[in-house]
Structure 1
Amino acid sequence: MEFRFTEEQQMIRETAASFFADCSTSAAVREAMVTERGYDLSLWQQICDDLYLHAITLPESLGGMGLGYVELVAVMEQMGRYLVCSPYFATVCQAVPALQRAGSEEQSAPWLERILGGETATLAWIGQEQPGCDAVTATFEPVEGGYRLSGDYHLVVDGHSADILVLVARQPGTTGRDGVSLFVVDASALVNTNAIERQWTPTLDQTRHLGRIRIDSLLLPVDACLGEYGQSGAVLEQVLQLATVALAAEQMGAAQQVQDLAVQYTKEREQFGRPIASFQAIKHKAADMMLRTEVARSACYYAACIADEAWQRRAMAAELPEAAAIAKSYCSEACFRNAGEALQMHGGVGFTWEYDVHLYFKRAKASELMLGTASEHRETLAKLLLDVDQPDKGAAA
């Protein structure tokens, strides 16, 4: 496959890079990350109103751009590069695919229009440390006029602040894909109820905020269920695979940036009367960092092309699980190892508060654990290659 950006894709990539370089400076990131919300609301409004980047994958019929995952990955690469503190990943890379894939056009349109208007959203599904649908522990049961949900969601990206919640629950007694449903909820309508509790969960990565959501006998109307109830397990898995590709792009962007920061520092830092960049050992480290970044970029944009096939429901959609696993496993290690090498190349000052390398190192470690570790994705690849206990790969397409 020969990959080249179109003029439109290159323009989106360059515009995003220029904007985030100006608006997501070190000072701006540090100011946003200490707030409970975790991002600057004015920056989010600029992303939505001025650049319209939140509408990349939204359909043109609703006023979106109607583009695909290559464009989305180009934006996520630059967000990772500049550690942008925003609800973009939760809203555009998790909630939007869930709304579009799980619900009918009639169901999802009102919620997507609210997102187009600048509201934020997130997807909550993790109840225990298991991959995919196995992580879902919240339960629901049909009642007169709707559904009753109960459960505890952990590690929800922007879960404490999102305006719209997509909650995943299963029928009691079911496992795996069976019995899984997605429910959409207006968070503001539940502020004064005792059925839901949301709180910020501080973690290692201060630049991306996670929340915890507890629900207890939350009553929802019939139309809150996206699609046919109990039949959305395959959809959830595809949504998570699409989000995995987007997260890998963010990791790749971060890997590029720590490489650039390290190289720049070694050109300025002198030892024994000359810049340490002239030492062969440093050159070898820089070369290894560059190799990891470039291979990560290839894996990531290949996965973006496959994700686009899945998004458009085309022939290669069935390859998404494999492409997502390849991209995430390699990008996770490339980002973390590059961040570690950058710390070494900075010497003792690398992990001090004054330098940004430690922020990238924390993001690298946190994102490595999100949506499956490298080892877990390699296990997935092994099962796919050996065709061991795998469900129909095209079921969610």
Structure 2
Amino acid sequence: MTDHVEDFTAFHDELATVARDVLGSATSAGAIDWMLIADAGWLGLEIVDELDGAGATFAEIAVILREYGRAAAGGPYSAVASAAVGALLLLETSPSRDDLLRQTAKGEAVPVLVQSGDLLSHSAFELIDERDEYTLSGSAGFVPDASHADRFLVPATLPDGTRVVVEVAKDCSGLSITEQPVVDETRSFGEIIADGVAVPKSSVHHFSGDPDKSMRRVNDRTAVAIACDSIGVSEAMLDATVEYVCAREQFARKIGSFQAVKHSCADMLVQITIARKLVAKAVNALCAPEWDEQSAVAASMAKSFATAMAVDIAGKAMQLHGGMGYTWESGIHVYLKRATLNRAQFGSPATHRKLLGARYLESGGLTSDRAYCSPAR
């Protein structure tokens, strides 16, 4: 498979620079204007030209997600562009699906995929056939950006066991949304409960391929999106630390000249470099037309290593800032909390390592991807 990231390195660097400027100016003034994101074209990056998108790939979205982590920016971009659009693109073509993609690209709709983060279970929502319509029941906790959505894409199970995606308006009768506090104040989560929600049959969308594989691919996209965010967090912490140790003096010397400090910063860079390689491999796998088990392996490796690494780097940055790192004014606590949530969200490193171990046991041992597995231990 062609390495999409390397082929478009110059374009990705330019995209990252623009995103850094936009997110930097927006976060300094407060919340990010959703239409600013839409006008920048980020919402429609992966949507085809015919539906007012850019016809790009997940590799371009990954660039934006990394800059979101670097800026510790809030808002539902990841939930919409990564999870919701990713799910919509795997559904059968229909006027309602295409219209929703077109509205999303323009910023007129904010769809959020209902994901609880449990990688091992099927959908907790069920549809009951009532002749002219369905009724939807079920619940999911810690759904990302539930409060920002204007409609939900709910993975559900039909009476015959088929997995589908149901489009539900946020304000429909029988649907309740409860905010759930988390350690990271830059993001929001909510519990969604559907109690006999009436659903027109036209709002029930079928997958164009195998439903189970399609949902697993969407889950992998979400995991890799979190890994991209964690790389941005880590890069921000490394930059801030290098800047600080090059300015702070102790015993009439810059503390960055001390060997122990040099080694710590070098270790941080090495860890980020490894994470970049793992995430790039996972992003490339998700850009391929077909999903396979090796794609899932790449996603688990990227998620398990990058999110654990980000917590370690944020903690090291706090230590290297000395007493200043533990103050509210330094801002490091914002990144440490974000990294901590990323580590727990949508599969902890331990969970993904268990999945990797189970796959290798089933296949009879390590494959040619052994070199990529060793950093994720």
Aligned with 2:82 (options 93, 101, 109): 93
The reply to whether residue 141 of structure 1 matches residue 144 of structure 2 is no
Give unpaired runs (5+ residues) of structure 1. Answer: 33-39, 390-397
Q: Quote the Cα distance in structure 2 between the aligned partners of 1:228 and 1:55.
A: 21
TM-score, length basis structure 1:
0.84
Q: Of the candidates 50, 74, 77, which is equivalent to residue 66 of structure 2?
A: 77
What is the deviation of 1:349?
2.7
Aligned Cα RMSD in Å? 2.3
The corresponding residue for 1:186 is 169
Quote the offset at 1:269 in angstroms.
Answer: 2.2
Q: Output one character per residue of 1:299-354: Cα deviation in whole Å (capped at 9) or x when no partner.
A: 11121111101xx33xx755210111111111111111101101111123323221
- Distance apart, 1:139 and its partner CA: 2.2
Query: Which residue of 2 is the match for residue 372 of structure 1?
Result: 347
State the 1:388 CA deviation. Answer: 6.2
Give the aligned partner of residue 110 of structure 2.
Answer: 120
Query: Pick from 294, 314, 322: which aligns with 1:347?
Result: 322
Partner in structure 2 of residue 131 of structure 1: 119
CA gap 1:206/1:103 in 2 versus in 1, 3 angstroms? farther
Match of 1:395 in 2: none
Alignment of 1:101-250 (within 5 A): 101-118=90-107, 119-126=109-116, 130-132=118-120, 134=121, 136-171=123-158, 179-188=162-171, 190=172, 193=173, 195-227=174-206, 232-250=211-229
Pick closer, same or farther for the CA change 1:262–1:9 going to 2, 3 Å.
closer
Report if aligned partners of 1:107, 1:226 keep a CA contact under 8 Å in 2: no
How many Å separate the matches in 2 of 1:63 and 1:138?
32
1:386–1:76: structure 2 CA closer, same or farther, 3 Å change rule? same
Residue 19 (str. 1) matches residue 7 (str. 2): no
Q: 1:356 aligns with which of 313, 316, 331?
A: 331
Residue of structure 2 in register with 1:37 after alignment: none
1-structure distance, mates of 2:277, 2:94? 34
Structure 1 residue 161: Cα displacement: 2.5
- Paired AA for residue 80 in structure 1: G
| Distance of aligned partners of 1:234 and 1:141 in 2 relative to their CA distance in 1, 3 Å threshold | farther
| Contact 1:13–1:71 (Cα < 8 Å) also in 2 | no
CA distance in 2, matches of 1:163, 1:76: 22
State the shift of 1:213 in Å.
1.2
Kindly indicate whether the alpha-carbon contact (under 8 Å) linking 1:70 and 1:305 is maintained by their aligned counterparts in 2.
yes
Q: Using a 3 Å threshold, how does the CA distance of structure 1 residues 351 and 121 change in structure 2: closer, same or farther?
A: farther
Query: What corresponds to 1:282 in structure 2?
Result: 261
Q: Is the 8 A contact 1:245 1:300 kept in 2?
A: yes
For residue 186 of structure 2, give the secondary structure of its aligned residue in structure 1: coil
Percent identical residues? 26
Other-structure match for 1:62: 51
Q: Which amino acid in 2 is paired with 1:76?
A: L
CA distance in 2 between partners of 1:11 and 1:125 (Å) = 32
Q: Unaligned stretches of 5+ in structure 2?
A: 365-377
Q: CA deviation at 1:208?
A: 1.0
8 Å Cα contact 2:43/2:106 also seen in 1? no
Structure 1 residues 359 and 320, CA, compared in 2 at 3 Å: closer, same or farther?
same
User: How many positions carry a matched residue from both structures?
Assistant: 360
Measured at CA, do residues 255 and 135 of structure 1 come closer, stay the same or move farther in structure 2, by a change above 3 Å? farther
